[in-house]
């Protein structure tokens, strides 16, 4: 019996996970989302950027994730754009990840109409550039060398959002939304260290533990980790979205997995004791 | 000929690698201007290397079709899907290939954007989401507290999984009746577990990750030096000497 | 499982997909007359085809997988083509009269070197691609050295060089005593010898309590320093891990286990999040179940 429990067909486990997720998504129950300090730091810095008055505050968001991380990082992108647009901050978007442009465009097209923002004057999509490190280095020295035009061929020096940008450090805040090592290997190492930019990050939960050394040193001045982090940011901007809607299902699935780990270990120790007695 | 095949690339790697390292410490305008131009060239050259990746994938599938290996029909499917996407790309909403990318609506037929949104993105996301099932299955079947070290790993994982989301607070709300709720119990499931989670991330996790980062960085420096001095030549590929 | 069962399962799944899709269209949830509507149906079909892999590997999954590969190659090509080749090469060359000479020369050099890289494809002429590869890899390696030193080594060591304890000198004394006790215990093999299990557990619990109190009580710099040094000692394989070195590397393993546990927990969180995203698509955009 114990052996059957320990070696259960994995498809039963798949079915349990599926049922838990679907049931939790369909349940209608409010859930409290406490705010963690790295997420608060991103929010606070954005608030400070919005208060700049000697020039139009402009931020750069680097969309460095693909559809495989869409569910975690896209809500962050939407929340950041809502925050920026609600405070009158201009946004330039770019991609170093080749599968990101579709998601970046979708984010802008979802949020910009909510605030009547105009392309060119309030936001710009610069598109994708290959070369990784080389893109960041080019931007650091001469922005127009990296992005002479936006994704649609409009010269960046003719667009109001990017007209005054001559190098990376001219952006008041750079936020990288990353699913891979672009955040530390590119932006922290080459962007933040060389050009002393203000750098914030939004990452998938997989990468979050690796980012804490950079938070402590101040190389990252804030971090939004995973879906939970996105839900926290949505709470801060008082606009619950997909991340908040997913937290109930996230919580229940975690509980199911923890219970399965505990159950599996209990069964294991019982079988080990039985084997010793035999 | 041997000079061009072997020695010249190594000289290039040495000269440019040395300059790339030295320019960090030379703020003179000529140094920064040269660095900027070299970075620009490497960015464009790297783009062409992406075409090599595409070529190798295509040659793999062409080889399968030619040899009629098991499942060669699926390789034909790869080319069909690529062909449709390429045709949409070449059409570019009437702009064709040599014009900048034209903005498109999501509701527009025969665009790369449509292929991305309704084919590529769902497939990519679903492939990744399969891992949720496999990781849950692995957690049940193989995650055992066999040794003290494994127990530490397990406990840390469980604390983080319950602390990073409001799972305990939710269970507390649902299952603990009002008369059993006390301040310290409420604080335990809301604030204390969250603080423990933050401490785990900010102290032991940070320490270990920093140790790993320092070690990996030293290794990266060693590898870079090997490349610059021509000891490491695997990046040059084959082609005979 | 018998093939007839698989066949029935396939037919049932197909029928269920059709019925549910018709329900979505009939309720007006999916606008069938538009590219968006057909796209949603296609996306749902591909999603379910890939999920069929959870039952077992099957032709539906292979179909979806290979379509995905083809479309991803096409999409990557389109992004590289329009954003780099057209915007950075073709457009400036087309408007050559408005572009300055040196940028034009840079584009020309870049394109020539890029084309040389493509010689990698040829068996006999692949040596031509070595120069541009050497350019990119060598230059990147050189640029990386000072960056890694500054951003990863020096910057990461900086917090550990800060004063460890603000104003409670007794915490330093306890730490020194602890390290001394640890070294003594390691030297006398207390930590390594299995027959002294009770002593090991007692030392471990006492160590963990004091160190956690130190760290939790706000002296986390000390604990972080202990962790970083012990992890580095663990990865130093040129010295045998016995005695004091073995004891310190054991502490390093504990820190690593916490970090790996954290990574495991967060990985589960990430994968579950993606699953939730796909379920929200199926229940909210394909089917009219979620609001």
- Its domain, for residue A23, covers 2-28+250-277
Let me know if A54 is exposed, middle or buried by CB neighbors in 10 A (0-12, 13-18, 19+). Answer: exposed
pLDDT at C165 over 60: no
If pLDDT is split at 50, 70 and 90, which confidence band does A62 have?
Answer: very high
If pLDDT is split at 50, 70 and 90, which confidence band does C167 have?
Answer: low
Chain C residues whose beta carbon lies within 8 Å of the beta carbon of residue A209? 259, 262-263, 266
Between C95 and C143, the higher pLDDT residue? C143
| A6 vs B: CB within 8 A | yes
d(C-alpha A200, C-alpha A193), whole Å: 13
Q: How many CB atoms lie within 10 A of CB A98?
A: 20
Q: Are A232 and A256 members of one domain? A: no
| C55 vs A: CB within 8 A | yes
Residue of chain A minimizing CA distance to B119? A67
Interchain contact, C110 vs B114, CB within 8 Å? no
pLDDT at C245 over 80: yes
Of B42, B136, B170, the CB nearest to A31: B170
What are the phi and psi torsion angles at A206 (to 5°)? Answer: -60, -40
Q: Are A157 and A109 members of one domain? A: yes
ipTM of the complex: 0.91
Question: What DSSP assignment string belongs to C109-159?
Answer: HHHHHHHHHGGGG-TTTGGGGHHHHHHHHHHHHHHHHHHIIIIIIIHHHTG
B27: distance to nearest CA of chain A, Å?
12
Q: How many domains, in total, are found in chain A?
A: 2
Between B96 and C273, the higher pLDDT residue? C273
* Under 8 Å between Cβ of B128 and A69: yes
* Beta-bridge partners for A177: A63, A202
| pLDDT, position C159 | 85
Residue A245 lies in a domain: no
| Disruptive mutation site among C272, C282, C283, C288 for chain A (greatest number of A CBs within 10 Å) | C272
pLDDT tens digits in sequence order for chain B, 241 residues long: 778 888 899 999 999 999 999 999 998 999 999 998 999 899 888 888 888 888 888 899 999 889 988 888 899 999 999 999 999 999 888 888 888 888 888 788 888 999 999 999 999 999 999 999 999 999 888 888 888 889 999 999 999 999 999 898 888 888 888 888 888 888 888 888 888 899 999 999 999 999 999 999 999 999 999 999 999 888 776 554 4
Chain C residues whose beta carbon lies within 8 Å of the beta carbon of residue B81? 66-71, 74
Mean pLDDT of the A103-116 span: 95
Residue A210 lies in a domain: yes
Q: How many CB atoms lie within 10 A of CB C96?
A: 12
Q: Are A131 and A206 members of one domain? A: yes
| pLDDT, position C212 | 63
How many residues in total does chain C contain?
Answer: 291
* Under 8 Å between Cβ of A234 and C253: no
Q: Are A57 and A168 members of one domain? A: yes
**A 74-93 near B (Cβ less than 8 A):** none
Q: Are A139 and A258 members of one domain? A: no
**For chain C, which residues make up each domain, given as ranges?**
1-99, 165-275
Chain B residues whose beta carbon lies within 8 Å of the beta carbon of residue C225? 207
d(C-alpha C215, C-alpha C231), whole Å: 17
Give the CATH number, domain containing residue A68. Answer: 3.40.50.10160
| C274 vs A: CB within 8 A | yes
Averaged confidence pLDDT in chain C: 84
Q: Are A219 and A87 members of one domain? A: yes
Interchain contact, B156 vs C265, CB within 8 Å? yes
Chain C residues whose beta carbon lies within 8 Å of the beta carbon of residue B84? 70-71, 74
Q: At a CB cut-off of 8 Å and minimum separation 6, what does B40 contact? A: A134, A138, A145, C106, C110
Question: What DSSP assignment string belongs to A49-87?
Answer: HHT--SS--EEEEEEE--GGGHHHHHHHHHHHHHHHHHT
| Disruptive mutation site among A113, A138, A213 for chain B (greatest number of B CBs within 10 Å) | A213
Q: Are A78 and A215 members of one domain? A: yes
């Amino acid at each position: 019996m114990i052996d059957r429990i320990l070696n259960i067909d994995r498809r039963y486990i798949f079915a349990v996970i599926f049922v838990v997720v679907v049931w939790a998504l369909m349940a209608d129950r409010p859930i409290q989302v406490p705010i963690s300090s790295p997420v608060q730091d991103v929010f606070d810095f954005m608030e400070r950027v919005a208060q700049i008055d000697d020039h139009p505050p402009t931020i750069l968001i680097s969309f460095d994730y693909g559809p495989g991380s869409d569910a975690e990082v896209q809500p962050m992108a939407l929340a950041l754009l809502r925050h920026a647009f609600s405070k009158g901050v201009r946004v330039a978007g770019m991609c170093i990840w080749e599968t990101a442009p579709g998601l970046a465009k979708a984010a802008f097209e979802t949020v910009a109409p909510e605030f009547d923002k105009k392309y060119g004057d309030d936001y710009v999509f610069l598109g994708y550039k290959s070369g990784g490190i080389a893109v960041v280095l080019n931007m650091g020295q001469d922005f127009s060398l990296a992005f002479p035009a936006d994704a649609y061929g409009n010269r960046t020096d003719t667009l109001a959002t990017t007209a005054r940008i001559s190098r990376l450090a001219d952006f008041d805040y750079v936020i990288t939304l990353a699913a891979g090592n672009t955040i530390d290997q590119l932006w922290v190492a080459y962007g933040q260290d060389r050009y002393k930019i203000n750098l914030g990050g939004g990452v998938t939960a997989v990468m979050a533990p690796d980012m804490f050394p950079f938070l402590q040193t101040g190389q990252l001045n804030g971090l939004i980790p995973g879906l939970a982090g996105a839900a926290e940011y949505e709470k801060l901007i008082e606009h619950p979205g997909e991340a908040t809607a997913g937290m109930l299902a996230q919580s229940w699935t975690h509980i199911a997995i923890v219970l399965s780990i505990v159950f599996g270990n209990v069964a294991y120790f019982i079988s080990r004791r039985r084997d010793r007695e035999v | 000929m041997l000079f061009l095949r072997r020695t010249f690339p190594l000289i290039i790697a040495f000269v440019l690698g040395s300059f790339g390292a030295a320019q960090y410490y030379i703020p003179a305008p000529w140094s920064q201007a040269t660095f900027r131009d070299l970075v620009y060239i490497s960015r464009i050259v790297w783009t062409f290397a992406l075409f090599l990746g595409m070529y190798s994938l295509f040659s793999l599938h062409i080889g399968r079709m030619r040899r009629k290996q098991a499942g060669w029909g699926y390789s034909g499917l790869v080319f069909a899907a690529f062909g449709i996407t390429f045709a949409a790309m070449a059409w570019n909403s009437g702009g064709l290939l040599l014009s900048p990318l034209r903005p498109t609506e999501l509701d527009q037929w025969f665009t790369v954007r449509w292929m991305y949104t309704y084919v590529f993105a769902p497939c990519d996301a679903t492939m990744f989401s399969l891992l949720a099932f496999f990781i849950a299955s692995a957690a049940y079947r193989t995650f055992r507290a066999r040794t003290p070290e494994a127990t530490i790993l397990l406990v840390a994982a469980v604390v983080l999984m319950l602390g990073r989301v409001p799972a305990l607070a939710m269970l507390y709300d649902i299952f603990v009746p009002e008369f059993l709720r006390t301040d310290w119990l409420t604080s335990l499931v809301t604030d204390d577990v969250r603080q423990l989670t933050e401490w785990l991330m900010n102290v032991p996790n940070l320490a270990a990750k920093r140790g790993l980062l320092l070690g990996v960085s030293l290794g990266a420096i060693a590898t870079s030096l090997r490349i610059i001095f021509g000891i490491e030549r695997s990046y040059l590929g084959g082609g005979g000497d | 499982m018998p093939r007839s069962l698989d066949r029935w399962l396939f037919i049932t799944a197909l029928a269920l997909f059709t019925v549910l899709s018709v329900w979505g269209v009939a309720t007006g949830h999916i606008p069938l007359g538009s590219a968006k509507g057909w796209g949603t149906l296609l996306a749902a079909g591909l999603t379910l085809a890939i999920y069929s892999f959870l039952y077992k590997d099957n032709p539906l999954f292979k179909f979806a997988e290979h379509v995905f590969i083809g479309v991803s190659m096409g999409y990557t090509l389109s992004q590289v083509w329009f954003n780099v080749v057209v915007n950075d090469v073709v457009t400036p060359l087309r408007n050559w009269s408005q572009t300055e000479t040196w940028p034009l020369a840079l584009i020309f050099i870049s394109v020539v070197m890029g084309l040389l890289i493509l010689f990698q494809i040829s068996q006999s002429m692949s040596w031509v691609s070595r120069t541009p590869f050497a350019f990119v890899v060598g230059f990147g390696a050189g640029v990386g050295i000072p960056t890694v030193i500054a951003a990863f080594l020096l910057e990461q060591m900086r917090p550990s060089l800060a004063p460890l304890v603000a104003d409670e000198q007794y915490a330093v004394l306890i730490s020194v005593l602890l390290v001394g006790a640890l070294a003594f215990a390691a030297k006398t093999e207390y930590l390594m010898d299995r027959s002294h299990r009770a002593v090991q557990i007692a030392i471990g619990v006492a160590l963990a309590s004091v160190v956690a109190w130190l760290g939790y009580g706000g002296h986390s710099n000390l604990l972080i320093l202990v962790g970083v040094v012990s992890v580095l000692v663990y990865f130093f394989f040129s010295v045998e891990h016995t005695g004091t070195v073995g004891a310190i590397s054991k502490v390093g393993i504990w820190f690593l286990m916490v970090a790996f546990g954290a990574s495991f927990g967060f990985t589960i969180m990430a994968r579950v999040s993606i699953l939730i995203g796909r379920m929200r698509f199926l229940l909210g955009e394909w089917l009219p179940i979620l609001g």
